[in-house]
Chains A and B, each alone.
Chain A
């Protein structure tokens, strides 16, 4: 789990946002309402997560609830993995 979060953090920090000063991204930081990520940034993040997990994230899952913070994304992903496993 820790690695997933770390990967997400790393992707966001290196690709999507300009690192301001020294403060680094925390897992509970609000990515969306703070405008840290814009809509296109979220799309790139979704693409990255899809590649990382070799899975599809359906449009209806791209919500504030699932993507607001690194923590929430990780929770969503683990739930999704669980669902897929059940489905198979």
Chain B
């Protein structure tokens, strides 16, 4: 065991023998490897340049300064080092007598701007890291000399820069004064490298790693913008000085009680971090941001004088909570930074290498000292590039004495952070001010918008107030039109044409009839809504009668019709629903459903009713129609639209679309679809003609083709899906002038296609609007030249409408931030039928207008830089996969970018409920094993698989146990072998089983040494028992202990979700050491039979290995591997003795209960009567250990079942205890508070097992048969968590009667498929097979599928290097590192290698077919 003393030497490790530091090359440190890798991936980017310009005094002596530089590089060898890529490992190479001159540049003729430009350009020069990594120059300018110093981050950091500057000052001063330098040269980086290597072997390092690994899997701060380009490193720096007042305020705030930590700098850091998190949350819309924090790792005074990259990146993340305040956020972040600092060890950056974070905070504490009495004037020059993965880096620093805080925001070009542009400064300062002003205030509630933004988004954008025909209803507008153009064509269907007068007569007759039947204002009347003149008449008649119509599509399933009718009946105070029909079949069907039917046909045909004009009945505040839309719960929602809503749209649309003479509008879409209102009412109030295209069965697309084929209409309203069909179909109507697209997102590519197919002679309008805001509330006219983004914009609000993008608290979101589209104004419908709660949820109080209401659409959007709204998708199409928030639409657009794919829809398929975790847990009726134990596989009789196997093999299994007389034989054997004071070590925990064992062994005449591990949690009661029992038995006893128990527990929880495994291993290790010291030859364990099965026997029996000898051989081999395994025990304890086989030969382990058959009852009985053993009251279920509960708790939480479930089930099977006793023992009541506090002390966070994974299924209309092509396409473009789990190829996607993609029918396709079938993961070629082997070896995983990503399986940078080396050895193929990142799966890599090999073969002129 390590003693505490020997480890305290760790931090003194810098005083290593100096000879060790004269190595000419040293391996790169973990931090360096990250940068090296980044540079490899972006070989031409200067992103790791650290360029500084120091303004020197005018009287600086140039020659002396050159000498200074010469001396500086001579005594600081890292400045002349370079990188060497080894085969398996990259090195930093030191070179002797390497020249590195200081360049003179005369810029005395340049202006300040010229000098600035020069510095910028020079800072962007890239280094060839294999040659040199420093660039130094003395620039002569009008205002004095500037020392320009640029270094590659691989050999420096900002702290090092301050050291170099100070050292240069010292050297220069000594040259000027001709005095000897008093101070030593700066410390050599190689010392640090050696030290880092040493630290990485320490136990503290292990516990730090355990901490970082136990961190919950980080939420990606991934963007939802599809056009992200991760290959560029270009970035823009936006800087701002906080100013003296604000800086002072912040520093003062940092030191107030409740805010301050133990140091000013950490307290300041915590405040900046709080502001940054608030920014990420409020402005970038991240609910659980993760930030990479850069810390220096300069522990000791020596390290503080070392030149080199002594930095580490730690990840800090919190989930934003409801009601979050600056104070509460700050509190949690402070705890996070403190924990991060405590676990900050050199090299821990390795644990962040493949984690997703793209925001970095670098709080720099370094400061430049004076140069010969002159205060430093240092300037940090941005190279114009950052790490390709970083969207936003915030550097906070005060580089020069007396500075206020300087904030430099490095924004990646085209990234989401940059989309917000220079506003970041305004927003960040706004947040900072708010934080300093109202620390206990909510971070949600304050308005972030600048006045300019607010004016533009909230006010100007919504200047839509337009005079409408106030007080008029559609009925009145229609009547006015009849008066204006009585003989114009109003409706046509095929050859049948009705003039306005004729149509109106029919309408009036029916309306009179309805009124006679008692139809009243606000009443609801169903209308059989097959497209026909009769239906149109019915609709207008209902409206004239003052009631509202409810369209019933002919294609509607009867169950759905029933739901509508029930809704109407409820609304009518339980009076029967009234339906107007004109066909016999509908009459019969509705009667059967219990509705009251009015036959419209009989009325209009008879002609007996009055056709006189009616006086207007309904007003603008009365209902016009109710349209049912599908709700997410499966219950349709009836949207109640009033006349005022409808008329506002219609009057606006008339002006927008219906200017012209005798235009024709086709009615070819379903009347139950609100989009159709345009084609129905707009012509009828403007003297134009509705051309009716009757239903063609279920398929609305056929009616579309009728419209196109006839080519007799001017203005068409359709969905993008329709437009797609039109583009793909053969018809090119020439009469069409206007196309209004609504209902779905319109892709620019589609609009472009349609536009050119129509020879650019049509106007294409993109209309946006949910049913709840009446047909359309936003409009944009497509422009071929301007609309080049992925989707056509949705434009501006229509007349009298307001559009806002708001966050969850109704704050307008800043530009670039995703929020919800909310609609106010004249189109906002009354609400949902019979659903006041749902209505109240979606139709809310208008946040900016006191008396108005606003509708929350559930559509996500953001403002782009030019003040346009960009639609992102549905809020309910944003899902979480493995903690990542993803947008299904983004995946769709990536798949659709493949040339062979016409259309793609992603569905998130939840697992079928039978496999869900909520299923009630049952227990095997024989042994009590819970059904959620892996592979318990309870059959229909309720018996588990283990019991079934055991039934067959029981007689064989029992042979291993020697319970009749075995114990006596064993005792005899041990006594015969007697030497020394003790016959054996007995592992005596003080619990009931081991107490019983100890007593029995003493009874048999053995002289044991009892051994107990004091794991720090042995209860007082158990200790008292131990003392009493050993005294009673006159047995010697010893406690073993280790200072590293907590690390071992944490590691055990990490690996096994319990504490026992770690404890057991410690016991074996320490008792083996003890046996060796004392020359004892036997160690006897008290493992129960169940534990023996669990840990040793089950697998062997399953493989039909029954002979005791064979089993013992296996156990022996397993024991060796067990002790040689790399884990916390092997790191913390001295495991030297296990390195050779000697110890295993000399020492025999005996399991007592292999030879003893006593039952639980026997044991309790024995203990009660023969031994002074008292059941401790302080340990919960366990009879000795206080931490046992922690293991049980964690295991149950993480794995869903008790860690004793399997051993106890064996106890039952073997008759050791009965089922009910076992179940009772498993039913622990755990003191959660105590357990949580222990976990806290251990620094362990339980992992959430999460819900069973849902599955992303991609439905593609494509010509492709083989989805692997698509898979490869996607793998190159999307992170793994966004890749579909399954592809379903279809000729075309099914549409709903409304012409939208029918997701229910899509989903049905999968149910009939074999669910959850794994994709092609078996290797198919010899290369793939070999690659799988290599990965298994390198990654130490059991199975590798050909589509698994190397990184997903735990591959890190070093492993890549090794993999590449191994591939080169095996296949004689050199894979570039960048290529490896591009092809992270076996399949892709295999294809690449095959390609290279094939090329080589071809080059050799050998027939490639020979290769098989």
Q: Is the CB of A40 within 8 A of B262?
A: no
Determine whether the beta carbon of B341 is less than 8 Å from that of A40: yes
Q: Is the Cβ of B8 less than 8 Å from the Cβ of A40?
A: no
Q: Chain B's nearest CB lies how many Å from the CB of A5?
A: 17
Q: How large is the interface on B (under 10, 10 to 19, 20 to 34, 35 or more residues)?
A: 20 to 34
**A59 and B339 contacting across the interface, CB-CB below 8 Å:** yes
Q: Are A48 and B300 in contact (CB under 8 A)?
A: no
CA distance A58 to B1243 in the complex (A): 11
Q: Verify if A6 is at the interface (C-beta below 8 Å from B).
A: no
Q: Which of A17, A64, A67 has the most CB of B within 10 A?
A: A64
Contact of B1035 with A by CB under 8 A:
no
Give per-residue flags for B332-351: 1 if the beta carbon is below 8 A from chain A beta carbons, else 0. Answer: 00010011011010000000
Chain B positions within 8 Å of A22 at CB level: none
Are A64 and B261 touching (Cβ within 8 A)? yes
Chain B 298-315 interface mask (CB, 8 Å, partner A; 1/0)? 111100110000000000
Q: Which secondary structure dominates chain B's binding surface? A: helix
Proximity string of chain A (33-66) to chain B, C-beta cutoff 8 Å, 1 when within and 0 when not = 1010111111110111001101010110011101
Q: Is B7 part of the contact surface with A, judged by Cβ < 8 Å?
A: yes
**B1195 interface contact, C-beta 8 A:** no
Contact of A15 among B300, B335, B339, B365 (CB under 8 A): B300
The chain A residue with its CB closest to the CB of B297 is: A40
B952 at the interface (CB under 8 A from A): no
Contact check, B299 vs A40: say whether CB atoms are below 8 A apart: yes
Neighbour of B12 across the interface among A14, A32, A54, A58, CB < 8 A: A14
Whether B1338 sits at the interface, judged by CB under 8 Å, is: no
Report the separation of the CA atoms of residues A32 and B261 in the bound assembly, to the nearest whole angstrom. 10
CB within 8 A of B338: which of A33, A51, A56, A59? A59
Residue of B nearest to A47 (CB): B204
- The answer to whether A17 touches B301 (Cβ under 8 A) is yes
Instruction: Decide: A64 and B341 in contact? CB cutoff 8 A.
Output: no
Residue B264, interface by CB 8 Å: yes
B299 touches A59 (CB 8 A): no
Which listed residue (A16, A38, A48, A58) contacts B263, Cβ 8 A? A38
Which residues of A sit under 8 angstroms from B296, Cβ to Cβ? 40
- What B residues does A62 contact at CB under 8 A? 261-262, 338
In the complex, the answer to whether B342 meets A39 with C-beta atoms within 8 Å is no
Answer whether residue A18 sits at the interface, using C-beta atoms and an 8 A cutoff. Answer: yes
Between B262, B295, B342, B1241, the greatest number of chain A beta carbons within 10 A of the residue's beta carbon is seen for B262
Do A18 and B8 have beta carbons less than 8 Å apart?
A: no
Nearest CB in chain B to that of A66: its residue: B262
Judge whether B8 and A16 touch: CB under 8 Å: no
Binary A-proximity of B642-684 (CB < 8 A = 1, otherwise 0): 0000000000000000000000000000000000000000000
Q: Are B341 and A43 in contact (CB under 8 A)?
A: yes
Contact B11 A39 (CB under 8 A): no
How far, in whole Å, are A16 and B446 apart by their CA atoms in the complex?
Answer: 44
B261 A63 Cβ-Cβ under 8 A: yes
Q: A16-B300, A16-B301, A64-B261 are in contact. Are A39 and B8 (CB under 8 A)?
A: no
Cα–Cα distance between A41 and B297 once the two chains are bound (Å):
10
Contacts of A47 in B (CB 8 A): 11, 204
A59 to chain B, nearest CB (A): 5
On whether the beta carbons of A42 and B262 are closer than 8 Å, the reply is: yes
Q: Whose C-beta in chain B lies nearest to the C-beta of A68?
A: B262
Q: Name the one of B11, B261, B295, B301 contacting A48, with C-beta atoms under 8 angstroms.
A: B11
B1069 interfacial contact with A, CB 8 Å? no
- Decide yes or no: A54 and B301 within 8 Å by CB, A59-B339, A64-B261 being known contacts: no
A18 touches B342 (CB 8 A): no
Write the nearest CB–CB distance from B1048 to chain A, whole angstroms.
15
Q: Chain B: which residue is nearest A39 at the CB level?
A: B266
Minimum CB–CB distance from B10 to chain A (whole Å) comes to: 9
Q: In this assembly, does B393 line the interface, its C-beta being within 8 Å of a C-beta of chain A?
A: no
Q: Which residues of A contact B634 (CB under 8 A)?
A: none
- Cα distance A39–B299 when bound, in Å? 9
Closest-CB distance, B692 to chain A (whole angstroms):
75
* Smallest CB separation, B1118 vs chain A (Å): 35
Q: Write out the residue numbers on chain B whose beta carbons fall within 8 Å of the beta carbon of A63.
A: 261-262
- Pick the most buried of A19, A35, A40, A48: most chain B CB atoms within 10 A of its CB: A40
Give B1244 Cβ to nearest chain A Cβ, in Å. 14
| Residues 1188-1213 of B contacting A (Cβ, < 8 Å) | none
Q: Distance in Å from the Cβ of B198 to the closest Cβ of chain A?
A: 15
Tell me the bound Cα distance from A15 to B8 in angstroms.
11
Given A33-B264, A62-B262, A67-B262, do A38 and B365 touch, yes or no (CB 8 Å)?
yes
**Which residue of the partner chain, among B299, B304, B365, contacts A18 with CB atoms under 8 Å?**
B304
User: Please, which residues of chain B bring their CB within 8 A of the CB of A39?
Assistant: 262-263, 265-266, 341
Q: In the complex, which of the residues A14, A51, A68 contacts B7, with contact meaning CB atoms closer than 8 Å?
A: A51
CB distance from B1029 to the nearest CB of A (A): 23
Contact, CB under 8 Å: A15 / B301: yes
Q: Is B1298 an interface residue (CB 8 A)?
A: no
- Contact indicator per residue, chain B 766-801, by CB within 8 Å of chain A (1) or not (0): 000000000000000000000000000000000000
Q: How far is the CA of A63 from the CA of B260 in the complex (A)?
A: 8
Whether A51 contacts B8 in the complex (CB less than 8 A), given A32-B262, A40-B295, comes out as yes
User: Complex: how many Å from CA A71 to CA B338?
Assistant: 23
- Cβ distance B1049 to chain A, nearest Cβ, rounded Å: 13
Across the interface, name the chain B residue whose C-beta is closest to A18.
Answer: B301
Is there a chain A Cβ closer than 8 Å to B323's Cβ? no
Q: From B7, B204, B338, name the one whose CB has the most chain A CB atoms within 10 angstroms.
A: B338
Instruction: Report how far A60 CA is from B264 CA in the complex, Å.
Output: 16
Closest beta carbon of chain B to A63's beta carbon, Å: 5
B1043 contacts the other chain (CB 8 A): yes
With A16-B301, A51-B7 known as contacts, the answer to whether A64 contacts B260 (CB < 8 A) is yes
User: What are the residues of chain A within 8 A of B301 when measuring CB–CB?
Assistant: 15-19
Q: Which residues in A have their C-beta under 8 angstroms from that of B304?
A: 18
Cross-chain contact A15 with B263 (CB below 8 angstroms): no
The smallest beta-carbon distance between B485 and chain A, in angstroms, is 82
The closest CB in chain B to the CB of A40 belongs to B299
Interface membership of B559, Cβ < 8 A: no
- B980 CB contacts on chain A under 8 angstroms: none
In the complex, chain B residues whose CB is within 8 Å of the CB of A17: 301
Complex Cα distance A19/B302, Å?
Answer: 11
CB pair A40 B1043 closer than 8 Å: no
B730 at the A interface (CB under 8 A): no
B518 at the interface (CB under 8 A from A): no
B335 contacts across to A, CB distance below 8 A = 59
A48 near B8 (CB under 8 angstroms)?
Answer: yes
User: Is B1405 an interface residue when CB atoms closer than 8 A count as contact?
Assistant: no
Q: How far is the CB of A43 from chain B (nearest CB, A)?
A: 5
Closest CB-CB distance, A50 to chain B, in whole Å? 9
Question: Do A32 and B263 touch across chains, with their CB atoms under 8 A apart?
Answer: yes
Contacts of B782-828 to chain A: CB distance below 8 A: none
Give the Cβ gap from A18 to chain B, nearest Cβ, in Å: 4
- Decide if A54 touches B4 in the complex (CB within 8 Å): yes
Instruction: Note all chain B residues with C-beta closer than 8 A to A14.
Output: 12
Which residues of the partner chain A approach B1241 to less than 8 Å between Cβ atoms?
56, 58
For B341, what are the chain A residues with a Cβ–Cβ distance below 8 Å? 39-40, 43
Contact with A along B241-270 (1 / 0, CB 8 A): 000000000000000000011111110000
Name the residue on A nearest B300 (C-beta).
A15
CA separation between A44 and B1251, bound complex, in Å?
Answer: 41
Residues of B within 8 A of A58 (CB): 1241
Query: Which A residues touch B263, using CB under 8 A?
Result: 32, 35, 37-39, 42, 64
| Contact in complex: A44, B338 (CB < 8 Å) | no
| Chain B proximity of A73: nearest CB distance (Å) | 11
Q: Which of B12, B204, B300 has the largest count of A CB atoms less than 10 A from its CB?
A: B300
Q: CA separation between A56 and B204, bound complex, in Å?
A: 13
- Return the 5 tightest CB-CB contacts between A and B, nearest first: A18-B301, A39-B266, A64-B262, A51-B4, A15-B300
11 further A-B contacts with Cβ under 8 Å, apart from A18-B305, A59-B335, are: A15-B12, A35-B263, A40-B295, A40-B297, A40-B298, A43-B342, A44-B11, A51-B8, A59-B338, A59-B342, A66-B262
A-B contact pairs, 16 of them (CB 8 A): A15-B301, A32-B263, A33-B264, A35-B263, A35-B264, A38-B265, A39-B262, A40-B295, A41-B299, A43-B342, A43-B344, A58-B1241, A62-B261, A62-B338, A64-B262, A68-B262
